[in-house]
Amino acid sequence: MEFIPAPAVLRVLCADCGTAIEPNGANLCVPCLRNTIDITEGIPKQASVSFCRNCERFLSPPSQWIPARLESSELLALCLKKLKGLSKVRLTDAHFIWTEPHSKRLRISLTVQKEVLTSTILEQTFEIEYLVQHGQCQDCSRLAAKNTWKAMVQVRQKVHHKRTFLFLEQLILKYGAQKDTVSVKEVKDGLDFFYASRNHAIKMVEFLASVVPVRSKASEQLLSADTHSNTANFKYTYSVEIAPICKDDLVCLPLKLARSLSNISPLVVCTRVGSSVVVLDPATLQQADVPAQVFWRGPFESLATVSDLVEFTVLDVDIDRKQPHRGGGAGGKKKLLMADVQVALSGAFRSSGGKSNGYDEEMMDFESLGETTQIYHTRTHLGAILQPGDTVLGYHITLSNFNSPEYAALKTDRIPDVILVKKMYPNRRKKSRARPWQLKSMAKEVDEEESGKGRGGVVGRMGGRDQKKVDEDYELFLRDLEEDEEMRKDVNLYKVKGDVTMRGPGAGKSGHGMDVDEEGGEDEADFPKVKLDELLEDFDEMTLGNGGT
């Protein structure tokens, strides 16, 4: 095997210290080259960063405050951004050097490269020390001066319940519209949202207009003005009014409006409220949408609300097979089916939103039906779910007195005696069974004792309202979610941690596995249940609090 010697390495002496080195363009060794040329020249070795102790955020020039933990990548990027001469060299490595957390110092080690002579790249490592200066951000300064908001959105609805705002609260949480809100305050007829920026308030107004029928009005208040620089400081207020029409309300449309909506009957029931009001004629299954612009052009009010609903007992159901069924009906059912039914009053007038509100109500003796109660014949859209013996809620038109010129203009032969709205489940409701799901609330701080009693959210927790009325409104809202599948699509339902057990005096099981109450009555077979795939895991979020079950 032939030996081939390696080529000889020629070396020269360093021009300064005389050390043998490989030849380069400068004929200098690395230590002498570093002593001669400093590539870190122009890069400051000391700098400062501003830190707000109240919100624990760092200032990112020129005016943005960002949250960053010590020795995090966000803080490292912020510190490197403050170095002016760093663009003249190539940064190859940067990392924090540990310092005492209370020393108000940050130390960073940097490794940079730069071409100093022809085909000669010099690499150098050095340290930079940052002084942490305590300051105060604009939000904390405004809070300290008790000037916490710059824009306010006043949301109002002139009704006697809070079900609309409970549903609106869930919509806000689902789509994250509350992230820019400084605080929320409950008032008599609605909520007040406070913001630190006018753009955030405008964004909330646009969100409200996309989910509920509203009209808005803007106003401004001058706080201060500088005539020399021609600048002024304003506070902005946006007044948003929600249409006073709610789900399951009885409505008498103006005659001109009814004719424009495909000549629908003026006496209708509201089945859904979104960006428009959806109404249904129970006698013909005809539906119509009333957009927000059309509604506010000629606003109208409800003849009766859910607090005026009366319990009826279904005696006979005769389904009209000639009428085709339609989808998207009240109560979350997939279809609507016309039927002629016979109903009778279930005892005295009892309101679903009154004093009892469906809690442990005494049902009437069914054997006495027909002897002291008058029987009514009516047509209804609930033929697909009603059976003889069921309990249904409806409006007793015959014994009601409405102060409405639109209703007075109706022909007497077109006014039914009873208008049925939705089916009831008294056997299941009287047991006070715990629900396996729960809702979230916008409340950031909720007392444990208060959240265990009932509503723990921002709606119903403030404003000096009666706690019993708050609990009744919340219970009615939860029942609407259970019975309306379409309504649940706009709400996030969360699983309840732990086992869900049955509460109440009627807890028990029959020998055949059927749930029974104390009097032996079986549960309704078609009782609406929330499916497991509709529930989300209960993630802990800083801005949310339990809304109760």
State what percent of residues in the chain have pLDDT above 70.
78
Count Cβ atoms within 10 A of the Cβ of residue 172 and give its class: 0-12 exposed, 13-18 middle, 19 or more buried. Answer: buried
- Mean pLDDT, residues 202-208: 94
Give the pLDDT of residue 178. 84
Give the pLDDT of residue 372. 54
Dist CA 419 CA 378 (whole Å): 7
Local confidence band at 457 (pLDDT 50, 70, 90 cut-offs): low
Give the pLDDT of residue 453. 43
Q: Which residues pair with 377 in a beta bridge?
A: 342
Give the pLDDT of residue 323. 64
State yes or no: pLDDT of 265 exceeds 80: yes
- Mean pLDDT, residues 437-447: 64
Apex CA 328: angle with CA 323 and CA 329, to 5°?
A: 70
- Nearest Cα neighbor of 266 from 158, 402, 423 is 402
State yes or no: pLDDT of 119 exceeds 50: yes
Query: If you search the block for the tokens 């912020």, which residue do you land on?
Result: 78
State yes or no: pLDDT of 405 exceeds 70: yes
Do 457 and 545 meet the contact criterion of CB atoms below 8 Å apart? Answer: yes
- Nearest Cα neighbor of 116 from 194, 61, 44, 38 is 38
Dist CA 379 CA 337 (whole Å): 10
Give the pLDDT of residue 138. 79
Higher pLDDT, 413 or 324: 413
Local confidence band at 518 (pLDDT 50, 70, 90 cut-offs): very low
Local confidence band at 238 (pLDDT 50, 70, 90 cut-offs): very high
- Mean pLDDT, residues 43-65: 88
Local confidence band at 520 (pLDDT 50, 70, 90 cut-offs): very low
Range of lowest pLDDT (124-128, 355-359, 376-380) = 355-359
Q: Which residues pair with 115 in a beta bridge?
A: 121
Local confidence band at 201 (pLDDT 50, 70, 90 cut-offs): very high
Give the pLDDT of residue 197. 86
Give the pLDDT of residue 14. 83
State yes or no: pLDDT of 143 exceeds 90: no
Q: What share of the chain is helix, strand, coil (3-state, %, to 5)?
A: 20, 35, 45
State yes or no: pLDDT of 491 exceeds 70: yes
H/E element, 139? helix 138-144
Local confidence band at 354 (pLDDT 50, 70, 90 cut-offs): very low
Do 427 and 524 meet the contact criterion of CB atoms below 8 Å apart? Answer: yes
Beta-strand pair 120-135/46-52: parallel
Higher pLDDT, 347 or 521: 347
Give the pLDDT of residue 465. 58
Range of lowest pLDDT (191-200, 411-420, 465-474) = 465-474
Give the pLDDT of residue 390. 87
State yes or no: pLDDT of 28 exceeds 80: no
- Mean pLDDT, residues 275-304: 91
State yes or no: pLDDT of 427 exceeds 60: yes
pTM for this entry: 0.66
Give the pLDDT of residue 118. 66
State yes or no: pLDDT of 324 exceeds 70: no
Per-residue buried b or exposed e for 49-72, using 16+ beta carbons within 10 Å of the residue's own CB: bbbbeeeebbbbeeeebeebeeee
- Mean pLDDT, residues 227-238: 88
State yes or no: pLDDT of 110 exceeds 70: yes
Strands (E), 469-539: 493-495, 535-536
Q: Helix 198-211 to helix 163-174 angle, to the nearest 10 degrees?
A: 120
Taking CA atoms, 502 is separated from 173, 435, 476, 515, 527, in Å, by: 29, 9, 20, 10, 16
State yes or no: pLDDT of 153 exceeds 90: yes
Higher pLDDT, 184 or 544: 184
User: Domains along the chain?
Assistant: 38-136 (3.10.450), 140-242 (no CATH), 249-323+335-348+372-423 (no CATH)
Dist CA 71 CA 106 (whole Å): 9
- Mean pLDDT, residues 52-60: 88
Count Cβ atoms within 10 A of the Cβ of residue 313 and give its class: 0-12 exposed, 13-18 middle, 19 or more buried. Answer: buried
Write out the two tokens for 47: 């700098």
Give the pLDDT of residue 277. 92
> Mean pLDDT for the chain?
78
State yes or no: pLDDT of 430 exceeds 80: no
Dist CA 342 CA 236 (whole Å): 56
Higher pLDDT, 9 or 380: 380
What spatial distance separates the first Cα and last Cα of the chain, rounded to whole Å?
Answer: 89
State yes or no: pLDDT of 189 exceeds 90: no
Highest mean pLDDT, choosing among 36-50, 243-257, 322-336, 341-355: 243-257
State yes or no: pLDDT of 543 exceeds 80: no
Give the pLDDT of residue 474. 85
